[in-house]
Amino acid sequence: MRTATIRGDGVAAYCCAHLLSKAGFHVVTERVGRPRLPVIMLGDHALALIRDVFDRSDLFADLPRIEKRVVAWGPNSRPLELNHSAVVVSEELLLDSLQPIGILEQHTETLGKWSVLSSQPLPTATIEHGFGLRTASAVPVTLTDRSGSSACCIESLSTGWLFLIPAGPDSCWLLSVGDTPETLLMYSRVIAPRIASYESAAREFPAYPRIISPLCGPGWLACGTAAMAFDPICGDGTANAIREAILASAVIRAATGGEDIAGVLAHYESRLTAGFLRHLFLCRQFYASGWGGSWWDAQLACIEEGIRWCKSNLSDRAGFRYGLRGFELLALP
């Protein structure tokens, strides 16, 4: 019997468990438990991916929606109101909705033939490469006008940036990156007037891009935030975790179906590194135009270091020999 162990209990782990179980694998999950994010914004692309993986076209159809995005980016910039389309969900509700059913939970060290590692610990040979030191704080806030609960706002300031994420008329979260919420709000022209009050206690978490190396090896693949983590400035972390899970499960299926194991693992390593590089290119645009000055220049320097690291790791790799067709990995002609 084909077997796989999934370590972790996030989006990537649940997607892998679902896809491998659906493909006939005996799947064992190892839950680790970790603090949940208070709010996640799922754009239409991420939502479509989740619905496709779990074959649930109505998933999260009744959640609060974000329809507008107000952007004030750069010194003395005028706020721009743009159309946007996303749903807002807590990570707890997201994972409760996706939790695999009928899969054995195992809390011992017994592993399957293949292991998907979406949480620590990782193999001792892996090294995490982080490109920055910035942290983010998330605090619940109340709005001065509840009619604005369908618009998110992002604003850059001299020592960081703010992101206001409504989660319905009675729930809203403020994400601050760089400086403290109190300091950034003192100088905010766009977001501060929208906030009536906020809590002083904040949940803090790293907000800089990071990736491990290697990303896989004989019998194992890292996936989700254990493999790489994105800067929240691009808002694509959940969608990327789903894409990683689709590829990880496809690689395992191909390897157990007779494809060259070294070849499909090399493809996985290259694809994830290339995806991380694309993310850094997006980050570079934001941090290059955010404000300028010592804080922004330091963040940009770290991003440039990451771009060089990715290019170096991709330079000695051949072109992609495989491609995804649906949820299957096939050799390219």
Angle between helices 44-54 and 237-256 (to 10 degrees): 30
- What domains can be seen in the chain, in order of their start residue? 3-38+91-132+209-331 (3.50.50.60), 61-89+134-207 (3.30.9.100)
Give the residue with greater pLDDT, 301 vs 106. Answer: 301
Give the residue with greater pLDDT, 61 vs 105. Answer: 61
DSSP string for 127-154: EEEE----EEEEEEEEES-GGGTTEEEE
Pairing of strands 203-206, 135-143: antiparallel
Question: Which of 45, 49, 54 lies closest to 85, judged by CA?
Answer: 45
Which pLDDT band holds residue 105 (cuts at 50, 70, 90)?
A: low
Question: What does pTM read for this prediction?
Answer: 0.94
pLDDT value of position 111: 47
Give the residue with greater pLDDT, 30 vs 107. Answer: 30
Q: How crowded is residue 151: how many other Cβ atoms within 10 Å of its Cβ?
A: 17
- Per-residue pLDDT, averaged over 161-189, amounts to 92
Give the residue with greater pLDDT, 116 vs 113. Answer: 116
Ranges 85-89, 171-175, 316-320: which has the least confidence:
316-320
Q: How crowded is residue 296: how many other Cβ atoms within 10 Å of its Cβ?
A: 22
Q: 188-199, pLDDT tens digit by residue?
A: 999 999 999 988
Q: CA 109: distance to chain centroid?
A: 27
3-state secondary structure of 43: strand
pLDDT value of position 167: 82
Instruction: Enumerate residues 6+ apart whose C-beta is below 8 A from 178.
Output: 134, 157, 159, 160, 161, 184, 295, 299
- Per-residue pLDDT, averaged over 89-108, amounts to 76
